[in-house]
Amino acid sequence: MADECIFCKIIRGDFNTEFVYETENTVVFNDINPKAPIHMLVCPKVHVESLNELEDKNLMAELIQTVKDVTQKIGLKSYKTLINTGKEAGQEVFHLHIHILGNK
């Protein structure tokens, strides 16, 4: 866990953020500044800086399964997913997250 990482703080409950969905190794919460009517972020609980640092293949699979499960849970059949990797690509929070963007 990175002490100063905002998503690690969210994940450990420092801000009482509501989790839309949670698995053993992943969490989903709403983006604070949504760019679509539905904008959720899927994160690993463990601190991984970006996709470039993700090596655990089981965790990769769990993250994608979480995308499927949370969208199914809320009845969202059509959505976009996005992972920004690196500053130049627009990554602002250096704790891996998959954006899920959809309409209500």
Residues classed as catalytic: 97
The structure tokens listed for 96 are 């891996």
Q: Does 6 bind ligand 5GP (CB under 6 A)?
A: yes
Phi, psi of 102 (to 5 degrees): -155, 170
Identify the residue among 5, 46, 64, 83 touching Zn ion (CB under 5 A): 5
Given strand 26-30, what is the order of strands in its sheet?
A: 21-22, 26-30, 38-44, 98-102, 80-82
Q: What residues numbered 77-96 form the site for Zn ion, per CB under 5 A?
A: 95
Site string for ligand 5GP, 11-50 (x = CB under 6 A): ------------------x-xxx-----------------
Coarse DSSP helix, strand, coil percentages of the chain, rounded to the nearest 5 percent: 30, 20, 50
Return residues touching ligand 5GP (CB under 6 A).
Answer: 6, 10, 29, 31-33, 84, 90-93
